[in-house]
Amino acid sequence: MTMPSADEVLDGIREWVEVESPTTDVAGVNRMMDLVSETLSGLDCTVERIPGTDGRGDHVAAKSPWGGDEKGILVLSHLDTVHPLGTLDDLPFSVDGDKAYGPGIYDMKGGAYIALAAFRALIEDGQEASLPIRFLYVSDEEVGSQTSRHHIEAAGEHAKYVLVTEPARDGGKIVTGRRGSARFSLAAKGRPAHSGARHADGRSAILEMARQIAKIEARTDYERNLTLNVGLIEGGSAVNVVPEHCTAELDIRFRDLDTANEIVDWVNALEAHDGDVVFTAKGGISRPAYEKSPAIEALYEHAKGLASEIGFDLVDTFTGGGSDGSFIANRLPVLDGLGVDGAGAHTMHEHLYVSSLVPRMSLMRRLYETLE
């Protein structure tokens, strides 16, 4: 089995990292899609460029030159990052011992690259897998996958297994479960008044929102793996005006569907504390919970055995962050966190561990070769 060296892989990852691709920069994201399209076309894959919509970049779907329409392996990756344009000036690609730094290198350009490198090595060795291998690269995972979700779900219809190249967790752990999420936009409409001359006539939208936030966040229950977080708030027009308007954004994370339905119904039923203020909550489940099914357990055990043969111990974990794998884990065996090991996702010290590149790339290749 011929595999590229860590240095060769790192050179390829560097090229990707130095193409800045925050979700909002369509041109940057599409340059990343150009790179993967060119590589896959050069490997005789059937490549489909899916035009972006709603101000987002394109997506790319590709299929191996073998396997026809048979259900196969879906490799799911995103090429957008959270780092704004210009981050490379402050966080340039660099290597310090076992750590390679750069925006998006850990989440998740490193993982997306090693999955493609493993596939290329398979083809260059003149081999075919038992199952067709399909790739889907999406452009908007970091903002909730609004334009890619239906493509992910459609790709799942042609999949027997799903491998997600999100980064590893906590020292190389693979992900076999994730909390689901719900998002709500909250709004309060009160009655404006001069805060000095006519304060009693006013009805404060900010006061109403503050009361609602205290009530909402009090529902957080760590024992149930349920969190409610109001992360953005905006309101008022001037310091001497009783505020007429206030808005806030609510993020909810939950362990299972029953909890999700319970908390979503509760938020939808919230009423204003002040009868003269109108309060509304609009939203719902944005990503379903990813629960470890028997099929996912079996796929994990298979991967664990392969990792042992390669020479490392593969441990699984449950995590709170979202992933595109969550959209199809309720009906397919999904393994997540197959990307590189590292730390600092979304920060100015984001890095991967160079020592993780070859072992985890080898695991991807062995999964391609052994899944049936």
SS3 label, residue 289: coil
The pLDDT of residue 11: 98
Those residues whose C-beta lies under 8 Å from the C-beta of residue 311, and which sit 6 or more positions away, are 359
Alpha helices in the chain (DSSP H): 6-17, 26-42, 87-90, 110-124, 149-156, 205-217, 257-268, 294-310, 357-370
Map out the domains of the chain as residue ranges.
6-178+290-370, 180-287
Q: Residue 2 pLDDT more than 90?
A: no
Q: Residue 321 pLDDT more than 90?
A: no
Kindly indicate the confidence band of residue 1, based on its pLDDT and cuts at 50, 70 and 90: confident
Kindly indicate the confidence band of residue 322, based on its pLDDT and cuts at 50, 70 and 90: confident
Given this chain, do its domains 6-178+290-370 and 180-287 carry the same CATH topology? Answer: no
SS3 label, residue 363: helix
Q: For the domain with range 6-178+290-370, which CATH number is right: 3.40.50.720, 3.40.630.10, 1.20.120.550, 3.30.1050.10?
A: 3.40.630.10
Q: Give bridge partners of residue 227 from the DSSP assignment.
A: 253
Q: Residue 195 pLDDT more than 90?
A: yes
The predicted-structure confidence for 207-227, as pLDDT tens digits, reads as follows 999 999 999 999 999 999 999
Per the listing, tokens 């730094």 go with: 101
Note the pTM of the prediction, 2 decimals: 0.91
Angle 107-285-180 (CA atoms, 0-180°, nearest 5)? 45
Q: Which CATH class is domain 180-287?
A: alpha beta
**CA-to-CA distance for 235 and 331, rounded, in angstroms?**
42
**CA-to-CA distance for 223 and 338, rounded, in angstroms?**
28
**CA-to-CA distance for 170 and 316, rounded, in angstroms?**
10
The pLDDT of residue 218: 98
The pLDDT of residue 356: 98
Q: Residue 249 pLDDT more than 90?
A: yes
The predicted-structure confidence for 268-299, as pLDDT tens digits, reads as follows 999 999 999 999 999 999 999 999 999 999 99
